[in-house]
């Protein structure tokens, strides 16, 4: 969807015109009351559910959650996925041409915030003729957008489903984002964000950024369970220097390679693989923009840090979900939102799921998690016309 009207951004900058890539699932009912907007996090897109015809393994990123008969049931709801501004999956972003200069934006793409994204999403709904959302839903950074919807457009949202999210980032969260950004920005192939013109991609930096991200998505427990201290397969080790067998090895234990450069442990090759894969398709400037949107989100900021006052504007009903082993957006952060909503006597349900998978749990199947979301949407379903 192309938008010719200038979008004013929170920074004071603006986008003269822009496009948003979106997908819809299910059917909008006659009174347009069954729309659910699903907001994406760092590494995702408008493609929230389903598969593309003839494309193997093209499932949407929340396909276990959204579809016919699924917790967010597209037999009942009209679901909308939108790729956010600044992303690299089709909506206007840093790899596109700046109409004001005729040059690719690169690092000149303006900083976009959660609030800016919500404004752009609201315009898309305007064009689609949807005045009010049955629900807005998201996990992680997507949950921040859902929360922000309830503050920016309180009259346009009946329910908000905020999963594995937080009212702002902690210093540690910002720190991880900053290290990832520095890895990208100091990669000689970054060229101050104008690497497109140089025919390069700062892949080294993107790999490091993704490796750091992956560590924070998983829990210590699940990493130990999945990888522990397992060495890379013995078959690969057979090709190692013969020096290894001459070493004073622990009897019965598989030989170490004794290398600082080779991957030795399974966790190392897993992270390298994830980093390599990511660097092939993700845009470096998008990574900077999206992590910055995370850093900047802080609705309590305009209220002297008082989240209860900040959330007083919200009028809809809420479902909050967190996961016990999520140390990136820990349950206590969700509880801060719950408390602030209860301070305002809002209708809020909260589920703290005892799942081992860390932050990633919000994308994974867990019967209790799926059950909670299913019941919540079932109850919304009874409110909207068929």
Q: 55-114: which residues touch a copy of itself (CB under 8 A)?
A: 107, 110-111
Whether 198 sits among the annotated catalytic residues: the reply is no
Strand partners for 231: 265
How close are the terminal C-alpha atoms of the chain, in Å? 27
| Measured distance CA(246)–CA(197) in Å, rounded | 51
Q: Which of 145, 168, 325, 334 binds a copy of itself (CB under 8 A)?
A: 168
Per the annotation, the verdict on 31 as an active-site residue is no
Name 17's Cβ contacts closer than 8 Å, sequence gap at least 6.
Answer: 2, 3, 4, 5, 6, 99
Closest to a copy of itself by CB, 11 vs 379, is 11
Rg of the chain taking only CA atoms, in angstroms: 22
DSSP letter for 311, please.
Answer: G
Strands 317-323 and 135-139: unpaired
148 is annotated as an active-site residue:
no
* Nearest CB to a copy of itself, comparing residues 156 and 328: 328
Report 202-261 residues binding a copy of itself (CB under 8 A).
204, 207-208, 211-212, 214-215, 218, 220, 223-224, 226-229, 243-248, 250-253, 256, 258-261
Q: How far is the CB of 137 from a copy of itself (least distance, A)?
A: 26
From the list 73, 264, 283, 360, which residue makes contact with a copy of itself (rule: CB under 8 A)? 264
272 binds a copy of itself (CB under 8 A): yes
With CB under 8 A as the contact rule, the residue among 267, 311, 320, 341 that binds a copy of itself is 267
Instruction: Indicate the residue among 44 and 267 with the shorter CB distance to a copy of itself.
Output: 267
For residue 353, what is the enclosing H or E element? strand 348-353
Examine residue 6 and tell whether it contacts a copy of itself (CB under 8 A). no
Site for a copy of itself (CB under 8 A): which residue of 172, 280, 354, 365? 172
CB of 314 to a copy of itself, least distance (A): 17
Rounded distance, CA 213 to CA 220, Å?
14
Q: Is 35 helix (H, G, I), strand (E, B) or coil?
A: strand
Strands (E) across 60-183 are located at 66-67, 72-73, 78-82, 135-139, 159-163
Write out the binding residues for a copy of itself, residues 13-52 only, by CB under 8 A. 13
The residues that are catalytic are 140, 326, 359
């Amino acid at each position: 969807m192309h938008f010719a009207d200038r979008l004013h951004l929170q920074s004071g900058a603006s986008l003269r015109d822009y496009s948003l890539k979106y997908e819809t699932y299910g059917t909008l009912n006659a009174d347009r009351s069954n729309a659910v907007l699903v907001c994406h996090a760092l590494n995702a897109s408008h493609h929230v559910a389903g598969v593309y015809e003839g494309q193997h393994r093209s499932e949407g990123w929340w396909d276990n959650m959204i579809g016919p008969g699924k917790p967010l049931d597209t037999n009942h709801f009209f679901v909308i996925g939108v790729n956010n501004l600044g992303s690299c999956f089709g909506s206007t972003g840093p790899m596109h041409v700046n109409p004001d200069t005729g040059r690719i934006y690169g690092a000149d793409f303006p900083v976009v915030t959660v609030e800016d994204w919500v404004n752009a999403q609201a315009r898309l709904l305007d064009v689609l003729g949807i005045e009010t959302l049955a629900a807005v839903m998201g996990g992680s950074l997507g949950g921040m957008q859902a929360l922000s919807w309830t503050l920016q457009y309180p009259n346009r949202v009946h329910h908000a489903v905020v999963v594995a999210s937080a009212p702002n980032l902690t210093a540690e969260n910002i720190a991880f984002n900053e290290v990832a950004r520095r890895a990208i920005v100091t990669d000689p192939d970054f060229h101050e964000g104008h690497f497109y013109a140089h025919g390069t991609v700062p892949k080294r930096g993107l790999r490091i950024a993704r490796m750091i991200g992956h560590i924070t998505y998983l829990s210590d427990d699940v990493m130990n369970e999945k990888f522990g201290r397992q060495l890379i397969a013995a078959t690969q080790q057979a090709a190692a220097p013969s020096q290894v067998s001459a070493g004073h090895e622990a009897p019965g234990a598989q030989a170490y390679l004794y290398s600082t450069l080779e991957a030795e442990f399974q966790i190392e090759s897993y992270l390298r693989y994830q980093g390599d894969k990511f660097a092939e398709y993700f845009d470096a400037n998008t990574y900077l923009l999206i992590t910055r949107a995370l850093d900047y989100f802080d609705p309590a900021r305009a209220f002297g840090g008082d989240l209860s006052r900040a959330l007083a504007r919200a009028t809809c009903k809420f479902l909050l979900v967190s996961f016990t082993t999520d140390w990136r957006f820990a349950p206590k952060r969700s509880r801060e939102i719950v408390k602030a909503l209860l301070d305002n006597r809002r209708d809020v349900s909260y589920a703290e799921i005892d799942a081992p998978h860390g932050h990633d749990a919000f994308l994974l199947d867990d019967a209790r998690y799926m059950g909670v979301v299913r019941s919540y949407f079932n109850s919304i379903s009874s409110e909207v016309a068929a």
